[in-house]
Structure 1
């Protein structure tokens, strides 16, 4: 899912920022007041941050390389050196593992980061701020690597051990559940995130909530939420398009068209698919072909819709079914040369013969035959009728005979032959 993939990356980025900000605090935990701790309600007693004096120089150099951000491999190398040192105590090892894991993340090496971060937690020697930030980061990396079960288990552990009321923790939980297709759990987690954020919802939380409602078939809840979001941010294009899409999916084509058309009039529709969505909705509504034609023509005039066979064909159909015959013919004449198949020329020929423009109909039908048709008999039927209407009976018989060679038009052609041969 596209939405889910984007969400993964956003959640991970937020967790890495939190971890990066906390890394440099590892030596500064002694003497901190409880109120300054990021996890004041944690059940875990925060260990004293006490390193081995003989290793202090290497630890500081490792921190400096990491925080400078230019030599992550260098930071990892010093971390490995510290881990191999028999003098290293649990705290030294935990700090080295934390830095190595975050440095690996800094060079996008997620599989390499995981064992470092896991071992940092296993040492159980980091101060609470670093310990739980590492837990948050590791849960995010698990999610990034499609290890949803491990991620959710670690987030639940984080919540249990910290009594967390951090909305970002619940937002991460929601994102992992969403990516795992667990939509009921997503809804519960998003609601918690909103509750702990003083009732305010970030845009991506709302999008997850709306998408989860939609996935569960709770269209009414999804639409209601989408309407709230759109009312709150009427100039946000993404929110508007989401609401229009939900209207269309739930059979409210009139609302979808009205919303998109209002956006068009405001100049908010700037992409090809925006115009295509609007004219497609109009074409699926009774009696709205003229509106579809206006949208297509505007899209062409603005250069937003491509001037290709597909666009001109939809324009021609919209015009034809709104009784704008001459304009429809002109649109088909623009589409036909751009179509590599003969289908558009065939459609044009059929309209022309219905309008008693027989010479033009014959020419279009022959163009269709020249390009190739799966059912060439249909073009021969147009030619035959055109010849007949022009009193060219011999030519009509000859064309009907060609149409009779095609199984798709055989019966129809043979009946016509029998009638004009009497």
Structure 2
């Protein structure tokens, strides 16, 4: 028997049995097609914390002077949002001479069409020597929220930090500004400041507002502090006595459990979330990912097949997730091939070397050899590395299509194959099985020039040269 040149029998052999997400490329002996690493499924990362814009309607705006018509004489008393706060709320006292500018600034901000104009007026008030602490604090707060409205986060943070430092805003606005700052810090990847601010907010307000703890959980989540995120979000859910908890809280809680390796808790939450929103694609994909990561691949496949039947799989990643799961289940390669072919037919999966390689692999390991060869033949010219031509050559030589195998192997070499010795080994075996001993010897000599195949090539050459 030739060293390294034995024919593969017709029984297909599984090269590796791994579950998502770890399905590595593994080197195979020259003469066997390699399994490619299939795409992995991940729990979808949540969007960063959304910054909360402070509503200026909660500001107290005293009358400018006797010539200014009084507004809202009969308005109801403002709701105290933080009744347990440790801070005594300062009285909102403004300079009567600046009341008109203040009102115009508020109107520009609330109108939403000239946010830069509201910032300019705010700067004018801030720099006025007659401005009282409240005038400056309110102007800084408006300027900060206006900057936030035009997505200028650095400027928004600067204004809001100064508004907070002034310590002159009523409690509702003071603590709402802290809330917004915590969100902005999280948006800007300033995790330590976000965590410090949200902790300060919780401490100083002594609030039992579930929204506050939802924010706290989100900030900890984005900072990678998953234990703290779990504690905060669980408290938010506990405090939410009216209506359903925010679905984002449950998503973050599920993801935090997953990050902590507490997969049973994560799966249970994901199942609950999916049961409530069966048509939510992100929730469905997250549950499928958790099933796959917890060795429940069959459940993941069933879930995604149901989504496929309902037309929910509309993106490249969706199809990759499903065929990845099938490739990690025993005996499901034929199903993987069907999914890939459907994705190609619908134009969802790209007709590139990678897709055709996975299609060829799926067909080959489901004993559909001719179809596998056809898939590799489509993918090989599109692969700039030559690897697909090498796999094609290995399959062809295993099927005694030696002339085609030699041609494919030489195409792989021509494309600059990283380990050309592998291709020369295929050429050598194909020449040998074509009874061209001289050709086989010449090919083995070429393979011996590659350190990766040198030893095997020399042994095989010695064997056929006796």
* TM-score for both structures, normalised by structure 2: 0.80
Shift of 1:32: 6.2
Deviations 1:8-59 (A, max 9, x none): 2x2x0xx11xx13535554489876567443445455544444332222222
Name the CA shift for 1:390/1:171 in 2 (closer, same or farther; >3 Å). Answer: same
**Aligned equivalents of 2:72 and 2:240: distance in 1?**
27
**Aligned equivalents of 1:364 and 1:147: distance in 2?**
54
Contact 2:43 2:289 in 1 (8 A): no
Name the CA shift for 1:258/1:72 in 2 (closer, same or farther; >3 Å). Answer: same
1:369 has 2:404 as partner: no
Deviations 1:388-421 (A, max 9, x none): 3333333333333433444444444444444444
Q: Which residue of 2 aligns with 1:126?
A: 169
Q: Which residue of 2 aligns with 1:69?
A: 112
Shift of 1:327: 0.9
1:385 has 2:426 as partner: no
Shift of 1:316: 0.9
Aligned residues: 416
Q: Which residue of 1 aligns with 2:350?
A: 306
Q: Which residue of 2 aligns with 1:164?
A: 207
Q: Which residue of 1 aligns with 2:289?
A: 245
Contact 1:175 1:208 in 2 (8 A): yes
Shift of 1:146: 3.9
Q: Which residue of 2 aligns with 1:196?
A: 239
Contact 2:213 2:236 in 1 (8 A): yes
Q: Which residue of 2 aligns with 1:6?
A: 47
Match of 1:143 among 173, 186, 202: 186
Secondary structure in structure 2 of the residue aligned to 1:251? coil
* TM-score for both structures, normalised by structure 1: 0.87
Q: Which residue of 2 aligns with 1:181?
A: 224
**Aligned equivalents of 1:415 and 1:202: distance in 2?**
67
1:206 has 2:247 as partner: no
**Aligned equivalents of 1:322 and 1:90: distance in 2?**
77
Match of 1:394 among 418, 427, 438: 438
Secondary structure in structure 2 of the residue aligned to 1:6? coil
Match of 1:20 among 48, 52, 55: 55
Deviations 1:89-112 (A, max 9, x none): 333333223223323323333333
Q: Which residue of 1 aligns with 2:121?
A: 78
Name the CA shift for 1:205/1:21 in 2 (closer, same or farther; >3 Å). Answer: farther
**Aligned equivalents of 1:157 and 1:200: distance in 2?**
27
Deviations 1:347-403 (A, max 9, x none): 212211221122222222222232233333333333333333333333333333433
Shift of 1:201: 1.8
Shift of 1:6: 2.2
Shift of 1:229: 0.9
Contact 1:23 1:99 in 2 (8 A): no
1:97 has 2:122 as partner: no
**Aligned equivalents of 1:307 and 1:319: distance in 2?**
16
Deviations 1:215-241 (A, max 9, x none): 212111111111111121111110011
Deviations 1:182-235 (A, max 9, x none): 212211221222223226221211111111111212111111111111121111
Shift of 1:290: 1.4
Secondary structure in structure 1 of the residue aligned to 2:291? helix
Contact 2:48 2:187 in 1 (8 A): no
Name the CA shift for 1:403/1:98 in 2 (closer, same or farther; >3 Å). Answer: closer
Name the CA shift for 1:227/1:404 in 2 (closer, same or farther; >3 Å). Answer: same
Q: Which residue of 2 aligns with 1:53?
A: 96
Secondary structure in structure 1 of the residue aligned to 2:417? coil
Contact 1:30 1:49 in 2 (8 A): no
Tell me how large the CA RMSD over aligned residues is: 2.9
Contact 1:316 1:328 in 2 (8 A): yes
**Aligned equivalents of 1:168 and 1:331: distance in 2?**
54
**Aligned equivalents of 1:352 and 1:209: distance in 2?**
51
**Aligned equivalents of 1:5 and 1:229: distance in 2?**
15
**Aligned equivalents of 1:94 and 1:395: distance in 2?**
87
Structure 1: runs of 5+ lacking an equivalent:
none
Contact 1:289 1:322 in 2 (8 A): yes
Shift of 1:325: 0.9
**Aligned equivalents of 2:448 and 2:201: distance in 1?**
77
Structure 2: runs of 5+ lacking an equivalent:
1-41, 63-70
Deviations 1:235-278 (A, max 9, x none): 11100111111122222222222222222222211111111122
Point out the structure with the larger helix share: 1
Q: Which has the higher contact order (CA 8 A, sep 6+)?
A: 2
Contact 1:378 1:403 in 2 (8 A): yes
1:337 has 2:381 as partner: yes
Name the CA shift for 1:38/1:285 in 2 (closer, same or farther; >3 Å). Answer: same
Shift of 1:115: 4.5
